[in-house]
Chain A
Amino acid sequence: MASKQLRILVPVKRVIDYQIKPRVNKTGTAVETTGVKFSINPFDDIAVEEAVRIKEKNKSLVESIHAVSIGPAKAQDILRNCLAKGADTSTLIDSKDVVLEPLAVAKVLKQVVEKQNSNLVIMGKQAIDDDCNNTGQMLAGLLNWPQATNAAKVEFTDNGKVNVTREVDGGEEVVSASLPLVITTDLRLNVPRYVGLQNLMKAKKKPMEKLALKDFSNVDLEPRLKVLSVEEPQPRAPGVKVNSVDELVDKLKEAKVI
């Protein structure tokens, strides 16, 4: 029954910490990244948590959890964290300063999936830096696997199917798919755990394969979209403080919004 076992791949991205307010750099070409705190993309953290929970709930179901990240060498910190949370093995694909578009990431991930012989990919629904919400769907397309995006609940049924409750406009829907499958996580799926120091120390012994982008020279990584500029959003005109409900209602009437 080894074929029924899950070999889960969890792609994770290192992004500017969600609590930091990003600033546009002086040249207006990108967001300032020097001296800024980075963390795991929150949606990816949920993906790691889900993979670990699936394993904890049913040990015999999961053969392995492999975490992968494409990013600068520093992305190994977030991979260590994934290992500490319960991933078994990991791959760091060092991309130096190269920023890849989702299509390129999906193509690289496809090769990782094939190499790891994964049959379930769990990943965040979007990265909080580029806000694309692309990679999971693209990877599923390239692999010709079904996709279950914006997952709020993942259940494995006895007949080997996966029921995924998806968040959609106006509520939720349930889709049922069989493996292999790509799942992307919504915030409601779970609450990720914190990692203790002990687990973090133990994780140092877990394997981390190190590759570079040049190891994927057969993949077209050229950007397709040229960033012309990055700007701060238009600031809103300062508002006024009102002292009573009456004054508020008057102001709203004045502004003709009621």
Chain B
Amino acid sequence: MIRFAGRNLQTLGSRVRRSRLASTLAFVETTKEGAIVPSSLNALAAAQQLGNNITALLLGPQATSAASVLKSSVQCTKLNKVLVSDEVKYEHYLPEKVTPLLVNLLKDEEYSHFVVASSAVGKNLLPRVAALLNYQPVCDITKIKDAKTFVRPIYAGNAIETVENTQSMALVSVRASAFEAVPEGSSESAVIEQISLSDGSTDLDVQWQSANLVKSARPDLSSASTIVAGGRALKDKETFDKLLVPLADALGAGIGATRAAVDSGFCDNSLQIGQTGKVVAPELYIAVGISGAIQHLAGMKDSKKIVAINSDPDAPILKVADYGLEGDLFEIVPQLTDKLMQARK
């Protein structure tokens, strides 16, 4: 009866706090091959900061194997349960298919927090789930002050907002670059549990057709410790590759680009860094021929050290760069590559 009353208030949109147990459900994304997606490891670290016990949720055909990978490869002391459903319909994480399951899991009183990485999958999924549960999520958080107070950038990182969640459950997406990933190790005490919930999913007519993913031996942008990025000044695709690839090789770095470079066809748009692309925070960020528009800065200004190589002394990038080298990038970049190769030897 009490439960019924609680539900009713919730549907009325009241902000009455129900007593939820303090525990966190963390959505863990896996690759097609069954590896854990790096951004999910950052999200787990954020979940750990909340102080509650964590239940991880893994979905899709590779979920069972990924669950044991998770248990044996990361040290997450708060992780005490891993829920697994390897139903094929969860492959590709189509929100229409995954949402009913999440809604079912989260409407129980068990969880006080739901955490996802703000990856493409997380961003696609979380708001749909939240709306159906009648919650406003807190998106792309960069800091956890306490279990209900979160910090997030707004206006492309030009302002930092601190918000208090006044709802009985907090649904958050985590900006991966703002949290260190959970360390390697093992979480032996976690219990793996298969779930088979009848999720009452209505069969919406939506199908995953195909993917065109960029295969690369380079470190993934979101987790690379060094990134070399190029802008429009690199002129064309050939020059972009000719100059940046050897430099990135010399540093073992990931390659990124500005929106202008992507639009000009120098590289794939998955390499785009900025407000509308990836947000990165490597140890070292080398910006080559990048002027430093607001939208690009939003994606990289939290890098530890920034190097700017630019011929324009007034380029805004020089204002955020720790080391600015003014000059012709067509001369500087090959020289730098040579020096770095020598330094490596």
Contacts and interface: CB of A to CB of B under 8 A. Distances in A.
* Co-assembled chains A and B: yes
Contacts of B127: 102, 132-138, 141
A137 B226 contact: no
Contacts of B39: 169
A170 B270 CA distance: 5
A18 B213 CA distance: 30
Contact of A128 (B165, B262, B275): B275
B92 interface: yes
Contacts of B198: none
B148 to A, nearest CB: 9
Interface stretch (B51-59, B82-90, B149-157, B184-192): B149-157
Interface string B198-218: 000010111111111110000
Interface residues of B, number: 93
B166 A248 contact: no
Given A102-B136, A257-B283, A224 B209 contact: no
A31 B210 CA distance: 42
Nearest to A182: B128
B289 to A, nearest CB: 15
A173 B210 contact: yes
Interface stretch (B62-70, B106-114, B229-237, B299-307): B299-307
B322 A131 contact: no
B160 A16 contact: no
A188 interface: yes
Contact of A230 (B154, B226, B275): B154
A140 interface: yes
B324 A227 contact: no
Contact of B159 (A134, A139, A147, A233): A233
- Most central of A102, A240, A252 by chain B CB within 10 Å: A252
A171 B268 contact: yes
A193 to B, nearest CB: 17
A133 B284 CA distance: 28
A231 B160 contact: yes
A239 B324 CA distance: 7
Interface stretch (B20-28, B41-49, B71-79, B336-344): B336-344
A20 to B, nearest CB: 9
B41 to A, nearest CB: 14
B205 A249 contact: no
In order of increasing CB-CB distance, the 5 nearest A-B pairs are A220-B13, A138-B131, A137-B127, A171-B213, A141-B128
Given A21-B294, A144-B202, A146-B204, 5 more contacts: A168-B121, A170-B214, A225-B136, A229-B162, A245-B336
Interface of B: 12-13, 15, 39, 92, 94-96, 99, 119-121, 123-132, 134-140, 149, 152-167, 202, 204-214, 222, 226, 251, 259, 262-263, 268-270, 275-276, 278, 283-284, 294-295, 301, 304-307, 318, 320-326, 332, 335-336, 339-340, 343
